[in-house]
């Protein structure tokens, strides 16, 4: 269930060696971290950061594995608090785990009927608040900017009409509203008609783009010289932020880019794990 995406490529570009220290900013269930640990044993250490308490509770710290329940947005502070030094590589896998879609019961998937939450931490702002309380123009903005949705105005308008009559509390209710908001010919495309709205809401709930913009300069700062930074993104908005940061840092002589173009999964990996299909890996080294 917890297949790490682009694992071989991640190991290739991070290039972990015995005695080195790494940070996995999105530890999850350790899908990337455990193979890294095997490479850096016996003296290397790995700092795993996981925002979701429920996910983290299923793993335990060890002598060479330090686990922290926090947002990677606080990377520099986490590093200082744990006195974690001489960092040779940092990984950011920005995807939502299969567990969140399949098991969390927080409404990440439009294919199930669950409460509208979508918060990776399990608390704080949730999708229900956004859908039921945010002004129509704010909904239009996030659907357009975060979801790149074709019909942001129509969907936002119908949502606001519907919520006057009853609270929109479940994913099923929201999917039904989206379906009747868009023209019939757009309801059976290559991707599900609710995909972009769900993506937009999830990004807004978890401040995903802001967190990414905040963590990248922190990662560059805490890395040792010749330390490597690998970022796996899953949609164009994330990839654009990473690409622009890498390019600017390369122009400023802080980074050397290792991937001229983003690395995608092989067809074999997509066949084994369909959720890997949109993954893009970019890597750079601190100079």
Backbone angles phi, psi at 154, to 5 degrees: -65, -45
Q: Are 51 and 123 contacting, i.e. CB atoms less than 8 angstroms apart?
A: no
Beta-strand pair 280-286/223-233:
antiparallel
CA distance 179 to 149: 13
| Across 128-137, 186-195, 277-286, least confident range | 186-195
% of the chain at pLDDT higher than 70: 99
Question: Residue 2 pLDDT > 70, yes or no?
Answer: no
Q: Are 11 and 39 contacting, i.e. CB atoms less than 8 angstroms apart?
A: yes
Question: Residue 47 pLDDT > 80, yes or no?
Answer: yes
Fold of 105-206: DNA polymerase; domain 1 (1.10.150)
Q: Is the peptide bond before 42 cis (omega within 30 degrees of 0)?
A: yes
Question: Residue 278 pLDDT > 80, yes or no?
Answer: yes
The whole-number average pLDDT for the span 57-63 is: 90
- Equal CATH topology for 7-99+210-286 and 105-206: no
CA distance 222 to 224: 7
Specify the pLDDT at position 98: 86
Fold of 7-99+210-286: Rossmann fold (3.40.50)
% of the chain at pLDDT higher than 90: 92
Task: Quickly list DSSP for the chain.
Answer: --PPTTHHHHHHHH---TT-EEEETT-TTSTTHHHHHHHHTTT-EEEEEES-HHHHTTS--BTTEEEEES-GGGHHHHHHHTT--SEEEEEEE-SPPHHHHHTS-SS--TTS--BS---TTSSSS-HHHHHHHS-HHHHHHHHHHTT--S-HHHHHHHHHHHHHHS---BHHHHHHHHHHHS-GGGTTSSS-TTHHHHHHHHHHHHTHHHHHHHHHHHHHHHEEEEEEEEEEESSHHHHHHHHHHHHHHHHTTSEEES-SS-B---HHHHHH-GGGTT-EEEEEEE-
CA distance 264 to 256: 20
pLDDT tens digit sequence for 160-181:
999 999 999 999 999 999 999 9
pLDDT band at 150 (very low <50, low <70, confident <90, very high): very high
What global pTM score does this model have? Answer: 0.94
**Domains in the chain: boundaries:** 7-99+210-286, 105-206
pLDDT band at 19 (very low <50, low <70, confident <90, very high): very high
Question: Residue 275 pLDDT > 90, yes or no?
Answer: no
Specify the pLDDT at position 54: 93
Specify the pLDDT at position 124: 85
Dihedral angle at the C-alpha atoms of 207, 209, 210, 213, nearest 10 degrees? 150
Question: Residue 195 pLDDT > 60, yes or no?
Answer: yes
The whole-number average pLDDT for the span 243-259 is: 98
Specify the pLDDT at position 123: 79
The whole-number average pLDDT for the span 209-219 is: 98
What sign has the CA pseudo-torsion 188, 99, 50, 276? negative
């Amino acid at each position: 269930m917890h297949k790490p995406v682009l694992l071989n490529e991640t190991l290739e570009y991070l290039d972990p060696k015995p005695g080195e220290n790494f940070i996995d900013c999105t530890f999850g269930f350790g899908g990337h971290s455990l193979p890294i640990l095997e490479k850096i044993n016996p003296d290397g250490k790995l700092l795993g950061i996981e925002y979701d308490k429920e996910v983290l509770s299923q793993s335990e710290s060890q002598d060479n594995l330090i686990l922290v329940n926090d947002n990677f947005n606080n990377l520099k502070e986490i590093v200082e608090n744990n006195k974690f030094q001489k960092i040779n590589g940092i990984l950011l896998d920005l995807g939502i785990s299969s567990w969140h879609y399949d098991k969390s019961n927080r409404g990440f998937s439009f294919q199930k009927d669950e409460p509208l939450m979508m918060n990776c931490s399990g608390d704080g702002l949730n999708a229900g608040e956004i859908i039921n309380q945010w002004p129509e123009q704010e909904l239009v903005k996030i659907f357009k900017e975060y979801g790149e949705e074709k019909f942001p105005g129509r969907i936002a308008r119908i949502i606001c009409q519907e919520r006057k009559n009853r609270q929109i509390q479940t994913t099923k209710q929201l999917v039904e509203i989206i379906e009747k908001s868009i023209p019939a010919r757009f309801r059976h495309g290559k991707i599900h008609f609710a995909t972009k709205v769900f993506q937009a809401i999830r990004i807004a709930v978890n401040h995903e783009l802001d967190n990414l913009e905040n963590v990248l300069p922190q990662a560059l700062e805490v890395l040792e010289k010749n330390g490597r930074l690998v970022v796996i993104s899953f949609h164009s908005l994330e990839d654009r932020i990473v690409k622009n940061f890498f390019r600017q840092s390369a122009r400023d002589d802080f980074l050397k880019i290792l991937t001229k173009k983003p690395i995608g999964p092989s067809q074999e990996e997509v066949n084994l794990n369909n959720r890997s299909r949109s993954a893009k890996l970019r890597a750079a080294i601190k100079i």
